Structure 1
Amino acid sequence: MSPIELIEKLHAKNVVLLAGRLLLSLIFLHEGLQLATHFEGAQKAMAALGVGTPLLLATIALQLGAGLSVALGILARLGAIGLGLFCLMTAGLFHTNFASQNELLHFEKDLAIAGGMFILAVSGAGRLSVDRLLTGLATGAKIDPPVEQHRSVGETSLPV
């Protein structure tokens, strides 16, 4: 049995996608909750950075809404794109003082998280997602259809 066949048989791809979604969304859910539950302090801190209340509210909504979207697999591609773009903007607007090792680290982390979100946006949430469950229930289709063949498996003849 090849490694690809073993991964497909164990559905490891879907378990890894679920774990990755949960890990990626954790920081946004945590930060969104922190901003929401400590709103006055967050409002003062953001004002010092030139961020007004409407943008703070939008940030909280994005972090919680898209964070849940990614974690649960509900429109996860859209949530991942939103959070990836948010990370790129955060890196470029707030973490460009590269003389500070801490700011450089935050810049690099934002870029890394954005990269993970864009990979998720391309790959999708996988089978272990609410979207997949709802789609299966709505269409009456079997929720766990056959695994797609990998490009390296199957017929290899070229069209003539």
Structure 2
Amino acid sequence: MTPTELAEKLHARDVVLLAGRLLLSLIFVHEGLELATHFEGAQKAMAALGVGTPLLVATIALQLGAGLSVALGILARLGAIGLGLFCLMTASLFHTNFASQNELLHFEKDLAIAGGMFILALSGAGRLAVDRVLIEMMKGRAGSKSETEAAPSESHLSAAGTSLPV
């Protein structure tokens, strides 16, 4: 497919979904990298909040894994659900001192990000996603096999439009 053909097939929806995925995932990938590269400092700061090392490691894995999942469009729906739930838990566990304007702001931002993640989980990653490319490649291979050899293709969670009942 030439770049011109690709541009003709792209729709504004897919470009907006890509931009939204990248913007939503940026904070998680960045924070995951910061925690990982400054592990000892993060470990001390988290211990002061009552968070042990295993939960810190799980947080880093979730932020990097699900953040990249959303950004790249690989199992983006699952990554978005994981990060949405993470934001709800973070808001309710760490940002409930509403007497502090800063804490209230962090609480509200966590809720807003969770909302964006849940919307992404419903809408899917769109056409500009690694999942979509992999499915198209698999369809191409299946199409080149004979009828008896071709395996049925299954749509992926984040590959198409909303497949969830709404």
Match of 2:53 in 1: 53
Task: Determine whether 1:79 maps to 2:79.
Answer: yes
For residues 9 and 73 of structure 1, the distance between their equivalents in structure 2, rounded to whole angstroms, comes to 18
For residues 10 and 75 of structure 2, the distance between their equivalents in structure 1, rounded to whole angstroms, comes to 25
Letter in 2 for 1:83: L
Match of 1:104 in 2: 104
Letter in 2 for 1:138: M
Any runs of at least 4 consecutive aligned residues in structure 1 with deviations exceeding 6 A, and if so which? none
Match of 1:62 in 2: 62
Residues 30-45 of structure 1: matches in 2 within 5 Å?
Answer: 30-45=30-45
Residues 9-158 of structure 1: matches in 2 within 5 Å?
Answer: 11-140=11-140
For residues 46 and 127 of structure 2, the distance between their equivalents in structure 1, rounded to whole angstroms, comes to 39
Letter in 2 for 1:109: K
For residues 37 and 66 of structure 1, the distance between their equivalents in structure 2, rounded to whole angstroms, comes to 18
* TM-superposed deviation, 1:9: 7.5
For residues 10 and 68 of structure 2, the distance between their equivalents in structure 1, rounded to whole angstroms, comes to 26
Letter in 2 for 1:66: A
Identity among equivalent pairs (%):
88
For residues 9 and 19 of structure 2, the distance between their equivalents in structure 1, rounded to whole angstroms, comes to 18
Q: Secondary structure at the match of 2:51?
A: coil
Letter in 1 for 2:33: L
Letter in 1 for 2:54: P
Flag structure 1 segments of 5+ consecutive residues without an equivalent.
1-7, 143-147, 149-160
Flag structure 2 segments of 5+ consecutive residues without an equivalent.
1-7, 144-160, 162-166
Q: For this pair of structures, how many residues does the alignment match?
A: 136
Letter in 1 for 2:41: G
For residues 130 and 30 of structure 1, the distance between their equivalents in structure 2, rounded to whole angstroms, comes to 21
